[in-house]
Structure 1
Amino acid sequence: MSKVEVSFTPENYHVYENLDNIVVVTDILRATSAICTALHHGAREVIPVSTVEEARFYKSKGYLVGAERNGVQLEEFDFGNSPYSYMNELEERSVVLTTTNGTKAINMAKNSFQVVVGAFTNFTALAKWLSQQERDILILCSGWKGRYNLEDTLFAGALTERLEQMGTVSLTEDSALSAKYLYNLAKDDPYKFLMNSSHRRRLKKLNLKEDIRYCLSMDNTDIIPVLHEGSLVPMNEQVLEEIRVSAETT
């Protein structure tokens, strides 16, 4: 039976890092929700970059680029990280994305066996796929500038509970148990539970209530973004085989 653990912030990732793990990166408000949305609406790939300088380089090469810092879209780029920005005119386009937290966490985990993106918006599809794997799972919460946040922890708890219900993971680690217990306090109304969370207050000041509701909505897509050769692409059997072969030869 697989083990599941939770790293509540990227700052703690080194404690849990195991290159044989499947790492589920989550940044509920809003990067991983936006990534799932972009691929669902036809983007060929989302290239996560950690810095604005990298984003500018891709912009100079003609890429569509999303860039967000502190919850706000940077003016020189095409998008921020609102999921609603990624619902139109993306068919077979490559999108580059840099965000305050999520894209940095994705790149931090890039050397793991598999890196997938998780959000409430692809929750059931992700849980089903993870339940079929025979590897330990680490849920990496992107947090906020290296600090703990509630919304990513709620997702980690929801996913942990679902996997436990499926009978595929062993909940022996305190990190997974505590995330699950927190989720059980919030699951009747996550939106209300997060009313006083620090990042929700930031987004509320920016009049992004609809973004928050969308990011907390369940199962808008069955796409599972997986990191492959530096890009997040929709998971399929061919991509998984290429990742497996690459892991065996490195």
Structure 2
Amino acid sequence: MKNTIEVCFTPQSFQLYNREDKLVVIIDVLRATSCICTALHYEVGMILPVASVAEAREYQNRGFLVAAERQAQKVEGFDLGNSPYEYMNPALKGKIIVFTTTNGTQAIRAARDSHKIAIASFLNLSAICLWLLKQHHNIILLCAGWKDFFNMEDTLCAGAISEKLEHSGLFEVSGDSALAAKYLYQKSGADTYGFLSASSHFNRLLKLKLEKEIQYCLTPDSAPVVPVLEGKYLVRAV
């Protein structure tokens, strides 16, 4: 019997899914899960995701290194923002970073009671698929979206994962959301950047002159790690 792949387009919809014994994969391509993959690839020790800026501030007051982003920009007064390039700094090797973002950490919070949580992006596309094939679990791909609205880039990544897992013969897509995500990915072809060029968050980041970051976040397998949640912390499983 094949394992199933479901896709949830927003954290707000996640409560509608049967989550019993499901492995949940969080996707926030632009940019939280891309940052997490990059950080662990560059040997940051652990990442502690928190939902609110207030909670992040409490950790900062206790001496923690804190990254905070809202509205696609770094929150004033914190150490780091939501740029993957910040996490390539060798000075962060082995550090614990408290991390809060507009969408990605909200999705992690929504899934917090799940059987197991992993992190995906285009940057770890092959690595996460290979890892999922070894888990022998039904999967929900949870897209972070933008403020509980559907977005294109997370759905596209969910479609890429769905297609690769289905192609293995060990998984089957379940439900129209997963089918739509897979079809969207197939429609995009090889030009992910061009396909997303009219999408809302893509253009939100372009207005902030973050084109280089968009290109990086859409580059498959640039950070081939598998972050998983162990207790409160995101750590590298692979």
For the aligned residue pairs, the C-alpha RMSD in angstroms reads 0.9
Match of 1:131 among 115, 122, 133: 133
The 1-side partners of 2:18 and 2:42 are apart by 32
What's the CA shift string for 1:172-196, capped at 9, x where partnerless?
Answer: 4211111000011113201001101
- Unmatched 5+ residue regions in structure 1? 237-250
The 2-side partners of 1:125 and 1:183 are apart by 18
Q: Which residue of 2 aligns with 1:97?
A: 99
Q: Which residue of 1 aligns with 2:8?
A: 7
Q: Is the 8 A contact 1:2 1:136 kept in 2?
A: yes
The 2-side partners of 1:95 and 1:86 are apart by 10
Q: Is the 8 A contact 1:225 1:232 kept in 2?
A: yes
Q: Which residue of 2 aligns with 1:40?
A: 41
Match of 1:230 among 229, 232, 235: 232
What's the CA shift string for 1:211-238, capped at 9, x where partnerless?
Answer: 10010001112211100111100116xx
The 2-side partners of 1:172 and 1:139 are apart by 11
Deviation at 1:62, TM superposition (A): 1.4
Deviation at 1:111, TM superposition (A): 1.0
One-letter amino acid of the counterpart of residue 18, structure 1:
R
One-letter amino acid of the counterpart of residue 215, structure 1:
C
Report matched runs for 1:64-83 at 5 Å. Answer: 64-83=65-84
Q: Which residue of 2 aligns with 1:196?
A: 198
Deviation at 1:17, TM superposition (A): 4.0
Match of 1:158 among 148, 157, 160: 160
Q: Which residue of 2 aligns with 1:244?
A: none
Q: Which residue of 2 aligns with 1:16?
A: 17
One-letter amino acid of the counterpart of residue 32, structure 2:
A
Q: Which residue of 1 aligns with 2:218?
A: 216
Report the number of matched residues: 236
Deviation at 1:19, TM superposition (A): 3.2
Distance 1:103 1:17, change over 3 A: farther
The 2-side partners of 1:116 and 1:102 are apart by 12
The 1-side partners of 2:92 and 2:142 are apart by 28
What's the CA shift string for 1:156-178, capped at 9, x where partnerless?
Answer: 00000000111110124211111
The 2-side partners of 1:133 and 1:233 are apart by 17
Q: TM-score when scaled to structure 1?
A: 0.92
Match of 1:140 among 129, 139, 142: 142
The 2-side partners of 1:204 and 1:151 are apart by 14
One-letter amino acid of the counterpart of residue 231, structure 1:
Y
- Unmatched 5+ residue regions in structure 2? none
The 2-side partners of 1:214 and 1:31 are apart by 13
Deviation at 1:61, TM superposition (A): 1.4
Percent of aligned pairs with the same residue? 47
One-letter amino acid of the counterpart of residue 178, structure 1:
A
Deviation at 1:133, TM superposition (A): 2.0
The 1-side partners of 2:218 and 2:137 are apart by 27
- Paired residue secondary structure (2:48): strand
